[in-house]
Copies of this chain bind each other. A is one copy, B any other.
Amino acid sequence: MEFASDNTSGVHPRILDAIGACNDGTVASYGADPFSASAAARLAELFETEVQVRLVATGTAANALALSALVPPYGTVFCHGDAHINTDECGAPELFTGGAKLTPVAGRAAKITPEALEAAHATFIRGFHQQLPAAVAITQATEFGTLYTAEQIAAIGAWCRGKGLRLHMDGARFANAVAALGASPAELTWKAGVDVLSFGATKNGAMGVEAVVFFDPKPAERFAFLVKRAGHVISKGRYLGAQMVAYLEGGLWLETARHANSMATRLAGRLGAIPAIRLAAPVEANAVFAVMPRSLHEALLAAGAHYYDWPGDGPGLAVIGSGDVLVRFVCSFLTRPDEIDRIATLAERLSEDPS
């Protein structure tokens, strides 16, 4: 009953095999290997356009480095207050940008709109006394497991262009979004105005690789210097390249994402049917947010369920009473239907008789 994170799962066998298969002989280090080159080529194919790519080992690095290529140290990045970059990266964006600010923007279910951006931007009227508006960052799928449609992204992209701002997308769970939406990777990114994407693979079956994908070559120009000084140039880069190639090969990335999404849907169906539990946000990707009585939550944990309660005000769509707790369940490529059934049955039973 493991629903704590998609990071607690291991590596998909096909990716593990690829790591072993690239091991022979000597190849150039620091990302100049053929596997990394092949990964970049496949990403270009996938996104149907020329891209600049750099592979790194963590999502925090991908996001913070991408932002550092987009904004000056005196800039500000508009993002949702619940954005991972704002709440879970211990200041990596601030470090790598040299002190740029994240200006939180409000919105339900961790999504922001052009209207909310406009309101936030309108408070920047003091010239050099305030940080310069420089970029917007959105997360797809969001931190509350919801999705932006291609149209919604395009609206944000258009607003950014109108203001001269860059647009970054944290795609730690981009695969889950593509799998769910049916839109093409291109439609969800550069065609909608995204300048740089953190294309995640780790949460969806890789060992540890994320691609920073630049659709605009300008900010990518000296990106390798930013990556190196952050200690994120991996010396034996072939193992990142091999992972990414295998991740994309034959659509593995969508296959694993579809599975995780469907498990979340199944879990939501079961939990949502329990009277004591309310879903806190639409379940559109691989996460389920729910509100339940604290007593039930504690009983579930005591019974061996693994998942987290979630700080903050939540997605803003369901009331969280004083005796309630907001919790998050995440499904991964490894989640099995029987695990869903087990935790759901447990929750049903405990909600009727918590003792």
Contact code string A124-167 (vs B, CB < 8 Å = 1, else 0): 11111111100000000000000000000000000000000000
Would you list which residues of chain A between 177 and 234 have a CB under 8 Å from chain B? 202-203, 207-208, 222, 224-234
B65 touches A238 (CB 8 A): no
Tell which of A89-97, A254-262, A277-285, A288-296 binds the partner.
Answer: A89-97
A239 touches B207 (CB 8 A): yes
Tell which of A24-32, A45-53, A342-350 binds the partner.
Answer: A24-32
CB neighbours of A23 from chain B (8 A): 10-11, 16
B231 touches A208 (CB 8 A): no
Tell which of A54-62, A245-253, A264-272, A316-324 binds the partner.
Answer: A54-62
CB neighbours of A132 from chain B (8 A): 222, 225
Cβ of A235 < 8 Å from any Cβ of B? yes
A92 touches B122 (CB 8 A): no
CB-contact partner of A235 in B58, B94, B238, B239, under 8 A: B58
- CA A126 – CA B233 in complex, angstroms? 14
CB neighbours of A238 from chain B (8 A): 10
Tell which of A36-44, A98-106, A108-116, A297-305 binds the partner.
Answer: A98-106
Please judge, given known A-B contacts A19-B19, A98-B73, A224-B127, whether A231 and B334 are in contact too, CB under 8 Å: no
CB of A124 to closest CB in B, whole Å: 8
Q: How large is the interface on A (under 10, 10 to 19, 20 to 34, 35 or more residues)?
A: 35 or more
A229 touches B7 (CB 8 A): no
CB-contact partner of A231 in B5, B19, B203, B232, under 8 A: B232
- CA A60 – CA B229 in complex, angstroms? 8
Please judge, given known A-B contacts A132-B225, A208-B239, A235-B208, whether A92 and B230 are in contact too, CB under 8 Å: yes
Beyond A10-B24, A95-B230, A132-B222: 12 further Cβ-contacts under 8 Å?
Answer: A7-B236, A8-B28, A10-B25, A10-B236, A11-B236, A30-B129, A57-B57, A65-B231, A73-B95, A96-B231, A127-B224, A129-B228
Closest 5 CB pairs of A and B: A61-B231, A98-B98, A7-B29, A94-B99, A74-B225
